Amino acid sequence: MLHLHDKIQETCAFIRQHTKQTPRVGIILGTGLGGLVDDIDVEATLEYADIPNFLSSTATGHAGRLVIGTLAGVPIMAMEGRFHFYEGYSLQDITLPVRVFKELGAELLIVSNACGGLNPYYQNGDIMVIEDQMNLMGGNPLIGINDDRLGPRFPDMCEPYSHEWIERTMNVAHREGLYPHKGVFVAVAGPCLETRAEYRFLRSAGADVVGMSTVPETIVAIHCGLKVVGLSVITDMCLPDAIEPANVAEIIATANAAEPRLRAIVRGVVSELSS
């Protein structure tokens, strides 16, 4: 981890050349939430390829841009597309943007994802506010010599997703006439989807949904002192006794159909900081 500090400073110096504002919120837009940029009063848009130490996003539907501006009157930075472990990147490099958000002044991270539903009471298109998480990715972005400038050696994970912000998020959703679930997100490395036996195991372990992202970013956010709100869109049901082959086009279509509801929640959560 000792190499990260200089990378963070280099990346922040570049971004500061394109904005004079201090972001209060960093947002990672997962599959189906890219349209949130339409709600942003944009000051600058930076291609990942132009930002020092940012990676290339190769995932389907991820544009690969950092959008700087205001949302609901609050200064924000939004990643229009994220990086994944399955793309061949290290977990430390994947999560560097989270540290950049913190260094630039953010206090809250909002992270979204598309996921598979394990809880039989969920349905395609449902939204879940992440209440807790499990890391089954086979790695951790904090492995290595700790840099105390970035965070503590042993960050406490008893509250990876802020209890206060979970309740505020639920209140925002209810005001919009939306009733998301609250549940546990488990992250696996991917990119292959799970077997029926694996789905049974994950459900028996207490997971409500499964995906291939979010957990590394949340670990790093806690390490560097950010509060986190996590939002999942259930794009396919992973019930082992009623499993069907995954259809990527249908998964993306389901995520896109849920986008207006997810956007309304994110706008409302961000607006909480303007009061």
The average confidence (pLDDT) of the chain is 94
Q: At residue 243, does pLDDT exceed 90?
A: no
Q: At residue 62, does pLDDT exceed 80?
A: no
Backbone angles phi, psi at 40, to 5 degrees: -90, 135
Which tokens sit at 3?
A: 């190499």
**According to the model, what pLDDT value does residue 252 have?**
85
Domain assignment present for 147: yes
Q: Of the candidates 207, 262, 238, which has an alpha carbon nearest to the alpha carbon of residue 124?
A: 238
Higher pLDDT, 244 or 109: 109
Domain assignment present for 17: no
Rounded average pLDDT over 53-82: 86
Rounded Cα distance, 269 and 252, in Å: 24
Report the chain's terminal Cα–Cα distance, integer Å: 37
In the structure, what pLDDT confidence band is assigned to residue 61 with cuts at 50, 70 and 90?
low
Considering the chain, what percentage of its residues have pLDDT values greater than 90? 84
DSSP 95: T
Rounded average pLDDT over 177-184: 98
Domain assignment present for 177: yes
Q: At residue 58, does pLDDT exceed 80?
A: no
Host domain of residue 137: 4-12+22-274
Q: Of the candidates 181, 214, 217, which has an alpha carbon nearest to the alpha carbon of residue 114?
A: 214
For residue 165, the one-letter residue type is W
Domain assignment present for 190: yes
| CB neighbour burial string for 46-66, b if at least 16 within 10 angstroms, e if fewer | bebeebebbbebebebbebbb
Do 101 and 80 form a contact (C-beta atoms < 8 A)? no
- Number of domains the chain is built from: 1
In the structure, what pLDDT confidence band is assigned to residue 2 with cuts at 50, 70 and 90?
confident
For residue 244, the one-letter residue type is E
Domain assignment present for 196: yes
Beta-carbon count within 10 A of 103 CB: 16
Give tens-digit pLDDT for 118-155.
Answer: 999 999 999 999 999 999 999 999 999 999 999 999 99
DSSP 25: E
Domain assignment present for 194: yes
Which residues on neighbouring strands pair with residue 68, listed in sequence order?
44, 77
- For 99-164, the DSSP string reads HHHHHHT--EEEEEEEEEE-STT--TT-EEEEEEEEEESS--TT-SS--TTT--SS---S-SS-HH
Do 207 and 128 form a contact (C-beta atoms < 8 A)? no
**According to the model, what pLDDT value does residue 31 have?**
74
Domain assignment present for 229: yes
Q: Of the candidates 82, 266, 263, which has an alpha carbon nearest to the alpha carbon of residue 190?
A: 82
Rounded Cα distance, 155 and 157, in Å: 6
Q: Indicate which CATH number applies to the domain containing 205.
A: 3.40.50.1580
Taking only Cα atoms into account, the Rg of the chain, rounded to an integer number of angstroms, comes to 17
DSSP 241: G
In the structure, what pLDDT confidence band is assigned to residue 242 with cuts at 50, 70 and 90?
confident
Q: At residue 32, does pLDDT exceed 80?
A: no
Q: Of the candidates 94, 134, 130, 113, which has an alpha carbon nearest to the alpha carbon of residue 217?
A: 94
Give tens-digit pLDDT for 204-220.
Answer: 999 999 999 999 999 99
Domain assignment present for 152: yes
**According to the model, what pLDDT value does residue 37 have?**
86
